[in-house]
Amino acid sequence: MRRGQIFRVLRAAGLIGGVPWVVLLALMLGGALEWRAGLLAILACSIGALGLARIWIGNLAGLADSLRRAAAEDGRLVPPSTTPLLPAVAEISDGVARLARTLAERAELVGRMRRADEAIVETLPDPLLVLSPARLPLRANAAARALFGVGPGRGSVAGAGDIAALLRHPVLAAAVDRALAEQRAQTADLVLPVPVLREIAAQVIPMEPALADGGRIVILLSDRSRERAVERMRADFVANASHELRTPLASLIGFIETLRGPAEDDPAARQRFLGIMAEQSERMQRLIDDLLGLSRIALTEHQPPTGRAVLAAIAQAEAEALEPLFRSRGITLTQALDDAAVAAPADAEQLAQVVRNLLENAVRHGREGGQVQLSAGPGGRQGGREGVMLAVSDDGPGIPREHIPRLTERFYRVDTGRSRRAGGTGLGLAIVKHIVNRHRGQLHIDSEEGQGATFRVWLPAEQR
Ligand SMILES: Nc1ncnc2c1ncn2[C@@H]1O[C@H](COP(=O)(O)OP(=O)(O)O)[C@@H](O)[C@H]1O
Ligand SMILES: [Mg+2]
């Protein structure tokens, strides 16, 4: 027993035995009680009081211990004491044990909820930063760490250069100021020049009350770079399409004026001009057809085809339909078609469009009087799937290497003037690419300058 405890026991014993002692003493002094019997009674009374005080103080100390443990909320109970328990204390002690268990369960629940919260924040697809009241980064979730190239763990967050640079960005800093001053969420659009140019939309949300880890500001970022690139591409596309339409239209308007004025009485000129006008109108028509085709295909690109396509039959039909075009350029077509090559799931109509576009290109961009080869056959395995291959090759001027990766962009041509004169719209390969994508296929373009070009389309084969 410690000294403090001894004093406490003595004081309690004094309290318990005090009144009987005084009464006994008074009786002895008044002669009502004999001295020896009185002293004996006082001794017995003291021993009784001491014993009782010890049990009482021991019980109370045990209770205090149990309460302290309950407050720690760790669910560990004080082992039952060896001293006998006073009846009332035993009841309280039971209550304390129950309280301790409830508190521990609740603490465990709160802990689990906090862990779930952290897991949600961590796996949120959008980058998220949590800042302290001093605006230092406390936490960055996985997406934010990936965006800024920071390794895992909290320690590395504060020192991460790119995050620090982001937080210093004047637009974001101003949004944080506003959010704290007005206690309302703010948005900010930023452009981060390093390490790669990024356009980011930030949402700054003040936290009142603060988060469990002391976070006062949550910054939600979304990388808009891709979206903006798509927007720019769309705008470019509209500009290109209008430009492509405007040129033949301007020429038509010009000829109409000439026919109404200076060439009114010149039948030979009129004939010639009408010929050019017909050509320009056809060009506009082709362009509109291709634009419509492209938008239709782009719409269904995410919806895989459902039918099957016998490549040899499709290739044969398209080759026959283009016979006059081949003849006009003195080109000989050789075919190597394997009847067993069946693509599925596939859209036969769209694959016919692919063959048509590739054959037209081989004629238009190939060599006058040259050779074009059309083949269909087995395509080998790709990505664990058996495939079939369609290929068109020519012996024309070919394509300079640096242009190859961009050929499937809308309106991209190696030589715009030549393509237009050849009747091209610049959309053929873009259409091919979309169709191939929809079929989960691959388009390969091989070419060496002066050695011709080969376009190969790999498609998933029908599974038997
Ligand atoms: N077989 C080929 N040989 C050489 N160049 C080609 C061939 N096929 C396509 N190209 C190049 O790719 C460009 C894009 O083709 P495409 O999208 O079909 O447009 P278009 O044929 O209307 O010009 C063509 O303008 C041409 O420069
Ligand atoms: Mg073309």
DSSP string, 315-361: HHHHHHHTHHHHHHTT-EEEEEE-TT-EEEEE-HHHHHHHHHHHHHH
Averaged over 257-261, what is the pLDDT?
Answer: 92
CATH of 124-223, one of 3.30.450.20, 1.10.3720.10, 3.10.450.50, 3.40.50.300: 3.30.450.20
Among residues 64, 54, 73, the alpha carbon closest in space to that of 16 is found at 54
pLDDT of residue 195: 66
pLDDT for residue 407 is more than 80: yes
Distance CA 359, CA 356 (A): 5
What CATH code would you report for 303-464? 3.30.565.10
Tokens 């960055």, located at residue: 140
| From 58-72, 128-142, 419-433, the region with the lowest mean pLDDT | 58-72
Averaged over 359-366, what is the pLDDT?
Answer: 95
Averaged over 241-245, what is the pLDDT?
Answer: 92
Among residues 274, 217, 269, the alpha carbon closest in space to that of 251 is found at 274
pLDDT for residue 290 is more than 70: yes
| From 83-92, 185-194, 265-274, 380-389, the region with the lowest mean pLDDT | 83-92
Strand partners, 422: none
Distance CA 131, CA 161 (A): 15
Q: How many angstroms does the Cα of residue 231 sit away from the middle of ligand 1?
A: 25
* Average pLDDT across the chain, whole number: 89
Averaged over 52-79, what is the pLDDT?
Answer: 79
Averaged over 85-107, what is the pLDDT?
Answer: 83
Averaged over 61-65, what is the pLDDT?
Answer: 83
Helix residue ranges per DSSP H, 366-451: 416-421, 428-438
Query: In degrees, to the nearest 5, what angle opens at C-alpha 80 toward C-alphas 76 and 84?
Result: 160
Residue nearest to atom 18 of ligand 1 (CA): 428
Q: What is the CB neighbour count within 10 angstroms for residue 226?
A: 10
pLDDT of residue 428: 95
The pocket of ion ligand 2, defined by CB under 5 A, consists of 361, 424, 428
Residue nearest to atom 27 of ligand 1 (CA): 414
| From 48-52, 215-219, 274-278, the region with the lowest mean pLDDT | 48-52
Q: How many angstroms does the Cα of residue 361 sit away from the middle of ligand 2?
A: 5
Q: Which atom of ligand 1 is nearest to the CA of 413?
A: 25
Q: Which atom of ligand 1 is nearest to the CA of 408?
A: 17
Ligand 1-lining residues (CB < 6 angstroms)? 357, 361-362, 364-366, 394, 396, 398-399, 407, 413-415, 419, 424-430, 453
What is the CATH class of 228-300? mainly alpha
The sheet with strand 371-382 has its strands ordered as: 332-337, 371-382, 385-394, 453-460, 442-447
Report the percentage of the chain scoring pLDDT > 70. Answer: 95
pLDDT for residue 155 is more than 50: no
Averaged over 113-121, what is the pLDDT?
Answer: 87
Strand partners, 335: 374
pLDDT for residue 208 is more than 80: yes
**Pairing of the two strands 371-382 and 332-337:** parallel
Give the amino acid at 462: E
Q: Report domain extents, the chain.
A: 3-110, 124-223, 228-300, 303-464
Averaged over 5-29, what is the pLDDT?
Answer: 87
pLDDT for residue 50 is more than 70: yes
| From 38-42, 99-103, 190-194, 215-219, the region with the lowest mean pLDDT | 190-194
Q: Which atom of ligand 1 is nearest to the CA of 412?
A: 14
Q: How many angstroms does the Cα of residue 361 sit away from the middle of ligand 1?
A: 6
| From 156-160, 245-249, 408-412, the region with the lowest mean pLDDT | 156-160
pLDDT for residue 64 is more than 60: yes
Residue 410 banded pLDDT, cuts 50, 70, 90: very high
Distance CA 53, CA 47 (A): 10
| From 92-96, 101-105, 200-204, 278-282, the region with the lowest mean pLDDT | 92-96
More confident residue, 60 or 333: 333
Query: Which of 429, 449, 454 is the best mutation target for the ligand 1 pocket, counting ligand atoms within 8 Å of the beta carbon and taking the most?
Result: 429
pLDDT for residue 116 is more than 80: yes
More confident residue, 41 or 453: 453
**Token pair listed for 22:** 């005084």
Residue 405 banded pLDDT, cuts 50, 70, 90: very high
Query: Which of 244, 361, 395 is the best mutation target for the ligand 1 pocket, counting ligand atoms within 8 Å of the beta carbon and taking the most?
Result: 361
Residue 209, preceding peptide bond in cis (omega within 30° of 0)? yes
